[in-house]
Amino acid sequence: EDGAVLVLDNASGEVLAWVGAHGDSAAAQVDGVLARRQPGSTLKPFLYGLAFERRLITPASLLDDAPTEIPTGSGSYLPQNYDRHFKGLVSARTALGASLNLPAVRLGAMLPPDALHARLNGLGLDLQHSGGWYGPSLALGSAEASLLDLSNAFRTLANGGLYRPPALPGRPLPAPRRVADAAASFLVTDILADNNARVRTFGLDSHLRTRGFAAVKTGTSKDMRDNWCIGFTDRY
């Protein structure tokens, strides 16, 4: 029953709406825009963008959505999909659009150690631990981030990979800097706006389908504590 909403202007970074909590909430004193929570699958676009940028895959590349067991220092890691089903070989477009977990974990293993960790910090997420501390689960959003930082990371995607902090009162605004490749950012945006790409998980007529252009990604934290939905239009 708790919720938070943030709306940023893509071009300026100006905050147009900030709702940290509502009056009837059991946690009304907690600002949900600033609280650090597990973002789940909302981190996957940045993983795929990195893989596109390094030319490891294209949107048409086939990835395997099949059970896997990954040894870690504390035991075996057995990632699952949200619906507990596996789809077999799927395109990278479908894997990202339908938010499949196993392809994301496999893709993370194709990248150099700490590559995703460095990219997320470059986007302003300010992760609290090293890439090795999170391990392969970082690809599925096991780190913690605030709605403010994550929304601004998606704003970076909307701006073709150019990062600039949000325009908050009293904070100086540095010049934009390139964090991600523009072509890779375009590919990720195209997938997140493709209703057909998400059909395997969400169907054709979900709430994510909009009348105009909108690129969007959902996420769910560990044990289903939090649901996220972050996206962008041309302006917001």
**pLDDT tens sequence across 137-167:** 899 999 999 999 999 999 999 999 999 999 9
pTM: 0.93
Per-residue model confidence (pLDDT) at position 118: 97
Per-residue model confidence (pLDDT) at position 225: 83
Per-residue model confidence (pLDDT) at position 74: 67
Token reading at 214: 């909108």
36 versus 77: the higher-pLDDT residue is 36
Closest by alpha carbon to 57, among 187, 231, 234, 235? Answer: 187
Average pLDDT on 24-30 reads: 78
The phi and psi torsions of 135 (rounded to 5 degrees) equal 70, -155
DSSP assigned state of 180: S
How large a percentage of the chain has pLDDT more than 70? 97
- What confidence tier does 136 reach under pLDDT thresholds 50, 70, 90? confident
